[in-house]
Structure 1
């Protein structure tokens, strides 16, 4: 790995205090960029990132698209490059920022995938709760949907983050921003039952949701568990844990919640991020109209 990339990752880790997930993403993106530079350099050419100019970066964008990466993935990898070259420019390692004018590929507008209210209820009620792992899963998915949390936020919850009397949890979201999120009485009920049989591997393990070995659950494991429970419930859907967050927001708006409140509940920094859900509710209203109105 080039020294400039190591320095940038150290900067993110120490000065920006980025999460391990963020660091892995940047490392993966920049390692792929290094691979491109090595594969496409001319004989005797310089493969170091500092040698790349704007034309080379445009070639990299095309190289990514040519390998079948989705437009959203290409955009994320280019965003990592922009951050990297801004850092290089501030440190005087490049005279100009070659990524400043780099454009993202056009992305198709995709509305978030959702589960209907009845599907969410069916999913949650189908989770077997006779053993401790089942009660853990019921508590975890009730919390995901009840609070509209990201899966990373749910697996990051510690015992100290709970305020069950007030039905609140302290959540550490993107950019290490903290918020207090209501999770509802059903989630609180199942969390209490789960905690009664929670068995950490060691006394120092403070995570609420543990795997069968007593260690903190990973986001990947939560996704796998959701697939199992969807299949058990007979729900044919490509839903992910994030689908429960999308469903949470849409169901609130369907029932009259204002957009600003939903923004706060989701922990979005910008209202424009939340506005995607207004398009979802409009789509659903149009579907209802087409099905029910005699003159549609």
Structure 2
């Protein structure tokens, strides 16, 4: 397998399949892991067969990889083979069955917890306006962090209180936000304009450079620690909270799907399990004979 084949495949994923940078990077790592396996087993990509694919699958489980990772790895290699050998009669990965995914309920913050978190921001700190804006906007829109950190000021329409978001597969969507997020945006933009910023990214770090995903996670973790809220936070937890609170307060599933930028309604429907569990617990706690 030559590096130019891998490069052509990655370009194909970006330009023709419109895969996100995150997915392309993950597929790249999967292929590199596969090339290591070929070297260890003394195999090459042309002679690789279905029985070898099964052996590769077993090796992934023996490494302790999760089902989601293994499933994605199978998809990556199946697509890679199809790209390289369009006229190949049998793709060695085409017969492998994707492992069943574990069902899990997305973690989210209750509304009282969110109030604690907002109140924990020390507004006397130099970057408090930025931190409050981050929290308000993620909770108000349910954006992915990768979408959020790539925004510029021009992506916001303050007159209609909407933001233009570029999602997975470079699909654009318009997401509304409320009055609290609007005020936080206005205050933060004024703060940002007072600093020597030489780039177009909206979010800045303490050196006035673009804020990274890791930097944003660090900010959120510090906010949670100060709030005393239970559990740990990851940026996606605010996205889960956004969706769960909307459904708990009467929003329909299709609307939440559109706001989150999900292609499939089944992806959004996992939040209905959260709301059902929330209703069940509320019923048990409130009904005298529950």
What TM-score results when the alignment is normalised by the length of structure 2? Answer: 0.92
Q: Give 2:67's aligned residue.
A: 71
Q: Which of 1 and 2 has higher RCO (CA within 8 Å, sep 6+)?
A: 2
CA RMSD of aligned residues (A): 1.9
Residues 138-162 of structure 1: CA distance to partner in whole angstroms, max 9, x if unpaired? 1011111100111111111112101
**More displaced stretch, 256-265 vs 122-131:** 122-131
Question: Is 1:28 aligned to 2:29, yes or no?
Answer: yes
What is the SS of the residue equivalent to 1:288?
A: helix
Q: Give 1:7's aligned residue.
A: 8
What is the SS of the residue equivalent to 1:198?
A: helix
Number of corresponding residues: 288
Q: Give 1:46's aligned residue.
A: 43
Residues 202-238 of structure 1: CA distance to partner in whole angstroms, max 9, x if unpaired? 53x1111111222221222212221111111111312
Structure-2 separation of matches of 1:76 and 1:180:
29
Q: CA offset at residue 89 of structure 1?
A: 3.0
Matches within 5 A, 1:122-201: 122-198=116-192
Q: CA offset at residue 16 of structure 1?
A: 4.3
Q: CA offset at residue 136 of structure 1?
A: 0.8
Matches within 5 A, 1:250-265: 250-265=244-259
Q: Give 2:101's aligned residue.
A: 107
Contact 1:132 1:198 in 2 (8 A): no
**More displaced stretch, 61-70 vs 174-183:** 61-70
What TM-score results when the alignment is normalised by the length of structure 1? Answer: 0.91
Contact 1:71 1:107 in 2 (8 A): yes
Contact 2:18 2:169 in 1 (8 A): no
Contact 1:201 1:215 in 2 (8 A): no
Q: CA offset at residue 71 of structure 1?
A: 1.2
Structure-2 separation of matches of 1:266 and 1:63:
36
Are residues 23 and 132 of structure 1, via their aligned partners in 2, closer, same or farther at CA, if it must alter by over 3 Å? farther
Are residues 88 and 74 of structure 1, via their aligned partners in 2, closer, same or farther at CA, if it must alter by over 3 Å? same
Structure-1 separation of matches of 2:201 and 2:95:
43
Q: Give 1:59's aligned residue.
A: 55
Show structure 1 runs of 5+ residues with no match.
Answer: none
Structure-2 separation of matches of 1:266 and 1:142:
16
Show structure 2 runs of 5+ residues with no match.
Answer: none
Contact 2:19 2:168 in 1 (8 A): no
Question: Is 1:218 aligned to 2:212, yes or no?
Answer: yes
